[in-house]
Amino acid sequence: MNRCCDTWNPDRPGRREDAALLAGRGRFVADLAAEGSLSAVFVRSPVPRAAIRALRLQGARAARGVVALYTGADVARLPRPRVNPVLGEFDAPAMPVLAQDEVRAVGQPVVAIVADSEAAALAAADRVEMDLEALEPVCDAEAALTAPPLLPERASNVIVEESWSSGDAERAFRNATVTAEVTIRHPRVAPAPLECRAIAAEWDGDTQRLTIWSGTQTPHRARNDIAHALGLARERVRVIAPDVGGAFGMKASVYPEDIAVAFVACALGRAVRWIASRQEDFLSATHGRGAVTRGRMAFDAEGRILALDTDMIFPLGAWLTFSALVPAWNASRILPGPYAIESVAVRVRGVVTNTVPVGIYRGAGRPEAAMLLERLIEAGARRLGFGPVVVRRRNLVPSEALPLARPNGTVLDAGDYRAVLAKTQARADDDRLREGQRRRRERGEAVGLGWSLYIEPCGRGWESASIALEPGGRFTAVTGSSSQGQGRETTFALIAARELAVSPESVSVMHGDTDALSNAVGALASRSVAIGGSALLQAAQALVEKARPVAARLLNAAASSVVNVDGGFAVSGRPDRSVGWERIAASADNELRTDATYTADEEAWGCGCCLAQVAVDIETGRVTLEQLHYVDDAGTVVNPRLVDGQIVGGIAQGIGEALLERAVYDADGQLLTGSLMDYALPRADDMPATRLDRLCMPSVFNTLGAKGVGEAGTIGAPPAIVNAVLDALAPLGVEAIDMPMTPERVWRAIRNAENRSDGKEKRR
C-alpha cells in the first residue's frame, strides 16, 4: 500500500479551483438564477426568553408581494431532527423550526415570510407584531447549572453529563510535590465563513422530487435530515452544494431555516430561497467554543505528571444541532492528550442556555483539551522550576508505546510526539530564542515564549466514492467528501491519478451532489483525505482490476500477465505491447465504473507542536505575535501546498480565539457583537511570521496513511500564544488572563498585578 513516508508531490502543485474562484466566477447559492423564485425571510425573536402571547400578522399578510406566512403552528407536527448521541443515548430537546409558545434565544426564527422578492419579504417582516411576555433569561453556562430549568419538562439545564476515570487521581494529588490549577474560559466565537448560510429549494411536481441548493459541508446529511423532517423518502430529495465559501463546522448540521425553506417549497410547489445576511449568521448560526474548563494537575519532584482532574462545562445554547455534543465528546476523549498520565478523572457536562446554539467549530473540542493540558503543564513547570520543554518531553507517550489503547476506549495510532517536539526546537532554534528573550528582558521588554503540543482525532468512520472511465480515456471521480474551498478537486485528482498511473489533468472530480452517490458523509472532522481519499483510492484500484481483462483481450494476453503502466496497461516485461485507457474505453462492452465505500480500521490521530514568541507593550497591553513555529504530523501528505494552507488558515482562526474574537451577550441576553464592526476577525496584518514544517508518520489505520490537518492550526496556536503572553508577564506576577487577550484585558492584568505587589510593599 502507499505507506510513503514523505509527501507525494514535492513540486507543490497549485489548485485547479482557483482560476474561477479568484476571477469571481465561482457559483455560490446566491449566484444561482433567482428568476421565478420566491424569497423567504425570517422574523426573529428580539428577546432571549419569552412566552409568545400573540402574533399579529394581518399587516404583513396584506403587504405588497407577500405570498404566504408561516408560524410555529404550521410546522408543529414535523418530527424533531436527530442529535448525534456521541456521549450516549439521551433525550434530546426538540429543535423548533419556528417558535411555538415561547422563544428561547435572540435571533430564533418565529415567522417565515415568503414574498415575490426579498425586498418585499423584508418590508412585510417590519409589519409583524409580536406580543411577548418576557421571562428571565440565563445566557451563561455556569449560571445555568444552578438556574431553574429553561426547558419545559426538564428537571435541569444539564442535558448530558459524562465522566470517565483511570487510576487513583485523589491519591496522586495527595502525593504530589506540586499541584497546578487553572480555570479556562473559552470565548464564544463566530465561525464567520466568507459566504453566509444560503439555501434554495424547488419542488418538481412532475418528478415529485425536492431539489435543494445549499451552502452545506454535508449534503447527504442535509438530504437525510430534511427528508426525515418533511416525511419524504430520501430518494425524493436531492441536495446540491455548489461552490461553498467556507464552513468550519458551522454548515455541518441542518438549521431551522433550512427545514423551513424546504417545507415552504413543498407546501407552495414553488422555488424558494433564503440568503442569510451577515447579521443573521451572527445571531442564528452556531457559535463555537464557550466552554469553561477547570483542571488540576499533580507533579512529582522530577516533573512527572501523576494525575489530571478536570471538570468541563460546555454551553449548548437554546437547542441542539446534530453535532451539538461533539465538542464535549472530543474534549473528554482526547485527554490526557499526548501525555502518559496514569490517573485521570474527567467530568464533562453540556448545558442549555438562552443563546444561539453552540456547535462544532474548526477544532470542536480539540482546542479545549489542548488548552487545558498545555496551561496546566506550563503552570506546573513554572512552579517546579523546570523548563517547559523538559517537563513536556518527560511526560510524552513514547513512540514505542504506539499504537496505544487508552482506558477511555480511544486507540492512538502511529506517531512520534517527542520527534515533533524536537523538530520544533531545532527549526525554531529555541536556545537562540531564549537567549534573545533574556537580552531583551534585561532592556526592560516583556517578551515571552510559549509552547504547545497536541494530538487530534482526525479520520474515522466511512466515506464513499466512485470512478468511471469516460470515452476518450478521461476519468470522472465522484467523492462523498464535499468541498468548501479546501481544494478537494486538486487533491482528489492526485489521489486517483496516482493509483491509475495517469496524469491528474485527465481526472475530473465531482462532489456535493447527493444524486451522484447514494450515500456519503461529507467534509468535516478533518477526515476528508484520510477517509474520503482512501475510498477514492479503493475505487481506483477496483477500476484497474475491472479494466485489466479488457486490456488483456486487446493485448491478446492472459489477464494475469497484464500490468498497469503509465497511461494504461502492458504485457508484463513487454513495454512495447501496451494499450492506453482511450482504447480500453472504446472497446469495453459496459461502462467501466466502480463504487467504493471505505471504512477505516480505527481512527487516525494527528499531532503537532507550536512555539510562539510574543512581545507585550506594558503601557498599552498590546500583544505583538512576533514569530510562530509550527510542526504538524498529518501522516501521508498528498499535496503539501494545500496542507500548509490548511495549517495557516487554522492558525489564523487560533490567533482569533487567543487574541481577538469574542461573541458577547450582555446581561439582558442581547448579542452585542452582531456585525464585523463589533466582532474582531483576524486580518492579514494580525498574522505573524509563520514557519511551518512537518513530520510524516503515516497512520496505520487507513489505506492512504493520511491524518487530518484541517483543524490542526486552531488546536496548537492558541495555547502556545496564551502561554507566551503569560511567560512574557510572569516577571510582573501575572498568572492568568482570559482569552481573547485583548489590550484592555492584558493592561488590566498588568495593573492588577502591580497593585498587588504595591500592597505587599506597603505591608512590609
- List interacting residues with ligand SMO (CB under 6 A): 217, 247-249, 252, 360-362, 364, 524-525
Angle between helices 388-395 and 417-428 (to 10 degrees): 160
Shorter beta-carbon distance to ligand SMO: residue 478 or 524: 524
Question: From the CB of residue 67, how many other CB atoms can be counted at a distance below 10 Å?
Answer: 18
Shorter beta-carbon distance to ligand SMO: residue 128 or 360: 360
Question: From the CB of residue 519, how many other CB atoms can be counted at a distance below 10 Å?
Answer: 14
Shorter beta-carbon distance to ligand SMO: residue 118 or 711: 711
Interatomic CA distance for residues 44 and 464, integer angstroms: 38
Nearest approach in angstroms of CB 520 to ligand SMO is 15
Shorter beta-carbon distance to ligand SMO: residue 199 or 579: 199
Nearest approach in angstroms of CB 483 to ligand SMO is 12
C-alpha cell of residue 11: 513540486
Nearest approach in angstroms of CB 14 to ligand SMO is 24
- Which pairing describes strands 305-317 and 271-275: parallel, antiparallel, or unpaired? unpaired
Shorter beta-carbon distance to ligand SMO: residue 248 or 454: 248
3 state SS of 272: strand
Shorter beta-carbon distance to ligand SMO: residue 176 or 717: 717
Beta carbons of 55 and 242 less than 8 angstroms apart = no
294: left (phi over 0), alpha (psi -120 to 50) or beta: beta
Residues 722, 728, 731, 734, CA torsion sign: negative
Q: Is 231 exposed, middle or buried (0-12, 13-18, 19+ CB in 10 A)?
A: exposed
Interatomic CA distance for residues 760 and 751, integer angstroms: 14
Report the candidate in 628, 569, 582 with the shortest Cα–Cα distance to residue 424.
Answer: 628
Interatomic CA distance for residues 133 and 128, integer angstroms: 16
Shorter beta-carbon distance to ligand SMO: residue 286 or 613: 286
Nearest approach in angstroms of CB 386 to ligand SMO is 35
Nearest approach in angstroms of CB 247 to ligand SMO is 6
Shorter beta-carbon distance to ligand SMO: residue 252 or 571: 252
- Over the Cα atoms of the chain, what is R_g? 27
Nearest approach in angstroms of CB 61 to ligand SMO is 39
Looking up cell 498574522 gives 687
Nearest approach in angstroms of CB 249 to ligand SMO is 3
Nearest approach in angstroms of CB 162 to ligand SMO is 20
643: left (phi over 0), alpha (psi -120 to 50) or beta: alpha
Shorter beta-carbon distance to ligand SMO: residue 252 or 307: 252
Shorter beta-carbon distance to ligand SMO: residue 96 or 459: 459
Question: From the CB of residue 203, how many other CB atoms can be counted at a distance below 10 Å?
Answer: 20
In DSSP notation, 127-173 reads T-EEEEEE------HHHHHHSPPSSTT-S-SEEEEEEEEES-HHHHH
Nearest approach in angstroms of CB 459 to ligand SMO is 11
Beta carbons of 633 and 622 less than 8 angstroms apart = no
Shorter beta-carbon distance to ligand SMO: residue 308 or 530: 530
**Euclidean distance between the first and the last CA atom of the chain, given in angstroms as a whole number:** 71
Beta strands (DSSP E) in 25-105 are 38-44, 50-56, 66-70, 102-103
C-alpha cell of residue 547: 479494466
Q: Residue 239 — φ and ψ, nearest 5°?
A: -115, 130
3 state SS of 492: helix
- The vertex-412 CA angle with 246 and 365, nearest 5°, equals 40
Nearest approach in angstroms of CB 306 to ligand SMO is 33
Ordered strands of the 343-352 beta sheet: 158-166, 343-352, 305-317, 292-299, 178-185
Shorter beta-carbon distance to ligand SMO: residue 157 or 653: 653
- The vertex-672 CA angle with 666 and 675, nearest 5°, equals 165
Shorter beta-carbon distance to ligand SMO: residue 650 or 740: 650
Shorter beta-carbon distance to ligand SMO: residue 191 or 635: 191
Nearest approach in angstroms of CB 635 to ligand SMO is 18
Nearest approach in angstroms of CB 10 to ligand SMO is 29
Residue nearest to ligand SMO (CB): 249
Looking up cell 503509465 gives 566
Shorter beta-carbon distance to ligand SMO: residue 246 or 256: 246
- Which pairing describes strands 593-599 and 605-616: parallel, antiparallel, or unpaired? unpaired
Nearest approach in angstroms of CB 676 to ligand SMO is 21
> Residue 521's Cα: distance from chain center in Å?
14
Nearest approach in angstroms of CB 624 to ligand SMO is 29
Shorter beta-carbon distance to ligand SMO: residue 303 or 457: 457
Nearest approach in angstroms of CB 186 to ligand SMO is 14
- The vertex-263 CA angle with 262 and 266, nearest 5°, equals 90
Report the candidate in 395, 360, 402 with the shortest Cα–Cα distance to residue 374.
Answer: 395
Please enumerate in sequence order all residues whose Cβ is within 8 A of that of 136, keeping only pairs 6 or more positions apart, or say none.
Answer: 49
Shorter beta-carbon distance to ligand SMO: residue 315 or 450: 315
Nearest approach in angstroms of CB 361 to ligand SMO is 5
Q: Is 113 exposed, middle or buried (0-12, 13-18, 19+ CB in 10 A)?
A: buried
C-alpha cell of residue 409: 476506549
Angle between helices 712-729 and 640-655 (to 10 degrees): 50
Nearest approach in angstroms of CB 307 to ligand SMO is 30
Strand partners for 202: 211, 271
